[in-house]
Chains A and B, each alone.
Chain A
Amino acid sequence: MDFTRRQFLKLSGAVAATIAVVELGFDDKKARAKSKDFKIAELKPTSTICPYCSVGCGILVYSKDNDVIYSEGDPDHPINEGTLCSKGTTVRQVYTSEKRITKPMYRAPGSNKWKEVDWDWALDKVAQNIKETRDRTFVHKENGVIVNRTDAIAYLGGAALDNEECHLLHKLFRAGLGLTYIEHQARI
């Protein structure tokens, strides 16, 4: 059964024929014949890495349309070899949790509630806030030395982001905007 899974994973985009069989512990052969009927059999697994701790376990996520149906430890992954801890096991619910925020929100000064806003408005507002503060506080030269910095905007975060995101965040906020207060979880 492992063979089927592994072979399957190498054919990216193929349809999982026997995944459900393995997971549900049914008789392999009988179930294989019927596998079309299983919900999960139609699904495409996608390989990902656990978003929680830094062991970096491999996870397969099975999704369909707008839903994540199932996830399991990646049997091919050399570190976890198919196993996961409580957090990795629950990764599906990071998507399905009703607590997810799905629209940008705005809280006006003094207000006691959020208001949903659209992306364009929110991003324009963020860009304007940055520009307004930056323009007022930016130091181009100090004592004759070009310093190109603002100490009035801080940046925090990044330990859960992708490398590519960290690169662009660093590039924009330090190299582009001149922030000095740049920190993230490695310090705490």
Chain B
Amino acid sequence: MTNHWNDLQYADVLMVIGANPAENHPISFRWISKAIEKGAKLISVDPRYTRTSQMANTYAQLRSGTDIAFIGGMINYILENELYHKEYVSAYTNASYIVDDQYSFKDGIFNGYDEKTRKYDKKQWGFKKDKEDKIIKDPTLKDPRCVFQLMKKHYSRYDIDTVVGVTGTDKETYKEICKAYASTGEVGKAGTILYAMGGTQHTVGTQNIRSYAILQLLLGNIGIAGGGVNALRGESNVQGSTDFGLLYHNVPGYMEVPTDADVTYQGFLDRITPKSGYLTNKPKFYTSMLKSFYGDNATKQNEFGYHFMPKLGAGKDYSYIRLFDAMYRKEFEGLMMFGANPVVGGPHASQSIKSLANLKWMVSIDLFETETSSFWKKEAGSDPASVQTEVIFLPACSSYEKEGSVTNSGRWMQYRWQAIKPKGESKADLEIVHMLARRLKELYKNSPNPSDMSLKALTWNYGESDHPDIDLVCREINGYDMKTKQQIKSFGDLKDDGSTSSGCWIYCGFYPENENLAKRRDNTNEGMSNFLNWSYAWPANRRILYNRASSDLNGKAWSKDRVGIVWNSVEGKWKGNDIPDFAATKGPDDPTFIDPFIMIAGGKGALFAGINEGPFPEHYEPYENPISNAFSSVQLNPAVQFGEKATNAKGDVSKYPIVATTYRVSEHWQSGSMTRNVPWLAELVPHMYIEISEELAKEKGIAYKDRIIVSSARGEIEAYALITKRFKPYKLKDKTVHHIGMPWHFGYNGIATGATANVLTPNIGDANTTIPEFKAFLCDIRRAK
């Protein structure tokens, strides 16, 4: 989230698209309700009429996988009717940049495309520069080659009739939403967009989110209270686990992982460090991180231990889907899982079970026996005798049987204290990784092998007992001066000469010398409900990102009701209700005074940005789709990569005519291991079910609670039919299609059991993130008997 939960109350209009907070983030809805009480309008856009829709002023039906069409139409409406925030767009975004002459767009394809590799040469989407290498701009936004005009042209194709013919939205409702949301472009008004996995889990997931961001930039809704682009994250610490680099392509603090093409540290730093913007400081953050890994073993002479780090194969994709592809091809032997249940949570689940059997060994660390940890059992559909995988299960304890911090969706790092000793012999994951690390270090202690130097160089100083001292871990994350061992006050003090250490630069500052600020519990609201003394928000305790944009070009608040930070010319600094997103003393004399987007080179919000499938989001149909693309002859996102053919079956509309999606319910959580094993929750939602419309039920002769079978190109599942008014047939341009949906929490283990929805979902991912397309696929249904 650029903003945070309490901040939702300050919105004038809230648009929830691809999320269902009333159901899945129930307590967040208190702040949405508060906004509504104060007169705000709530818009819910979803394939299904959800609990959030029920609370909304306006509900729009949207066929799964058509967000870009929907938002593209809104962008068009705003540009055509000049409803955008003119000053903001001109000064705070790259709307005025003149785009390179090479740029073109024709029938669904941008310039620079290579059909064979399904990749674009992104360098061909640059900006025009003058002799001094400065980007040429047209602040009047009239030049036909400026971003603004090119964008206008691009989205002029997204007229209302074409859009609703694709999305299946009622035309009048769509117009009403365009009008209501565009009203937040008025100076002083705020609109917020809330999304979750309904936005990201598509082959065009990243561009879906980009389209939300473009809309928000046009309306001047980023950086202000009650605004923002807000991802409602699903797990208590998925924010933190991402911040700390538990993805193949990032080390902590969203920095790059070296590849084998990065032969020297300096060369690597040169590649990853931008020429302007805040991230010019990256070498300081990277070197400090290496120091936190290897301590005194990271020296100037050995490039600060750079070569101890593994280098990825250049161009190789190690993401989740590819990981399972590799497992299918028997490319690896071992799997360590710390709280993960991929045979319920991953795509093409039945294939995942088969692939797991290719492992030599697997370790599952969890509270409960998961479907994955017992994938070798008969109940999983396996033949135990033929599964040669050795499986070790280590019992973990729950969150209040240990202590440590988690970071919520609003980036608040909140501490949890220990209420009770771990149950039975279970242990904290911190203890498990510590005990394992100590054993491994012991095993490799005397190795003279160059392969083992990384592990030998790794510092592991968290105490000599089996129980690590968590305070030492916290101090290491924050970072300290290598000589004095004094804690670093802020990431601005980190150095690239090896004199400082910091495990995760974006968190640097949460633990100054004497106090772990994540433990703070002062709930005084000192203004705009930012609660600056409650816990700690990264970075630097900022509660709203890009908060420079909360004020106009002179540093005056756009609205007196939404004061973020304002320039105080008497004191010569920024003051207000938040921590400024940059040095508080940066005044009008500084050329970057009007550059709110500090993380982007140039400091301007990116309406035009080079991501894998093009500089502007363009609608393509999902991998499995019921109609041909109305916007071009290109059906699927042209930059999507295909993985292992054998695990990538595709269903055709002739055989699978129904669109399906998945979602969650309030009473269960993710793959269900922490809810289906909890008696009350298991009792509240005890069965797997499929939601189908009354019309579809009638067509198929299905009655409420009948057992039905849903089939896709990957497999089939059986569950109860739940006949509902929440789904309606979709009237698209040339035909009507049915849409169904189902929760994805179920599996065969636990108190509440049921069929796994992900047996049906495809093994294909977004062109940038490879996040699987869980949310839009084709299927068919029939009665079980």
Task: Give the interface of A toward B (CB within 8 A).
Answer: 9, 46-59, 61-63, 66-68, 76-81, 83-88, 90-91, 93-95, 97, 99-112, 114, 119, 122-131, 133, 135, 137-138, 140, 142-143, 145-188
- Cross-chain contact B248 with A165 (CB below 8 angstroms): no
Q: Contact flags (1/0) for B356-384 with A, using CB distance below 8 Å? A: 00001101011111000010111000001
Query: Beta-carbon contacts of B394-431 to A below 8 Å, as 1s and 0s?
Result: 11001111111111111011111111110111111110
**Stretch from B88-96, B642-650, B671-679 that touches the partner:** B671-679
Of A81, A106, A165, A169, the contact of B391 (CB 8 Å cutoff): A106
**Separation in Å of the A117 CB from the closest CB of chain B?**
8
Neighbouring B residues of A160 by C-beta, 8 Å = 235-237, 339, 399, 674
B737 contacts partner chain A, Cβ-Cβ < 8 Å: no
Query: Across the interface, do A149 and B311 meet the contact criterion of CB distance under 8 Å?
Result: yes
30 example contacts (A-B, Cβ-Cβ < 8 A) are as follows A51-B236, A53-B234, A63-B419, A66-B421, A79-B6, A83-B27, A86-B681, A88-B27, A93-B681, A97-B368, A104-B395, A108-B390, A109-B388, A110-B387, A112-B376, A123-B435, A133-B334, A147-B311, A148-B308, A149-B310, A151-B331, A154-B327, A160-B339, A164-B405, A172-B433, A183-B323, A184-B238, A186-B247, A188-B342, A188-B771
Contact (A107, B248) CB under 8 Å given A180-B312, A186-B242: no
The answer, yes or no, to whether B446 is at the interface (CB within 8 Å) is no
How far does the Cβ of A38 sit from chain B's closest Cβ, in whole Å? 19
**How far apart are the CA atoms of A40 and B366 in the complex, in Å?**
30
Within 8 A of A (CB), among B652-672: 666-667, 669-670
Find out whether the CB atom of B332 lies under 8 angstroms from the CB atom of A99: no
**Residues from chain A with Cβ under 8 Å of B360 in the complex:** 129, 133
Q: How far apart are the CA atoms of A56 and B25 in the complex, in Å?
A: 10
Complex interface: chain B residues within 8 A of A57 (CB): 27
The answer to whether A148 and B454 touch across the interface, beta carbons within 8 angstroms, is yes
Beyond contacts A101-B367, A162-B240: 4 other A-B pairs, Cβ-Cβ < 8 A, are A54-B408, A133-B334, A140-B451, A164-B470
Contact status A131-B312, CB under 8 Å: no
Complex interface: stretch among B180-188, B523-531, B562-570: B523-531
Q: B455 near A: Cβ within 8 Å?
A: yes
Note all chain B residues with C-beta closer than 8 A to A90. 675, 678, 680-681
A174 and B309 contact, CB distance less than 8 A: yes
Residue interface mask B221-241, A partner, CB < 8 A = 1 = 000000000001111111111
Cβ B368 vs Cβ A101 within 8 A: yes
Closest A-chain residue to B241, C-beta based? Answer: A158
Contact of B307 among A49, A76, A146, A156 (CB under 8 A): A146
Q: Is the CB of A153 within 8 A of B335?
A: yes
Known contacts A90-B680, A143-B260, A165-B430, A46 near B418 by CB under 8 Å? yes
Q: Which residues does chain B contribute within 8 Å of A179, judged by CB atoms? A: 310
Smallest Cβ distance from B443 to chain A, in angstroms? 5
| Interface pair A176/B455, CB less than 8 Å apart | yes
Q: What A residues does B242 contact at CB under 8 A?
A: 184, 186
Instruction: Say which residue of B333, B387, B392, B774 sits within 8 Å of A125 (CB atoms).
Output: B392
Complex interface: chain B residues within 8 A of A168 (CB): 430, 433-434, 437, 462, 468, 473
Tell whether B584 is near chain A: CB-to-CB under 8 Å: no
**A187 near B25: Cβ-Cβ < 8 Å:** no
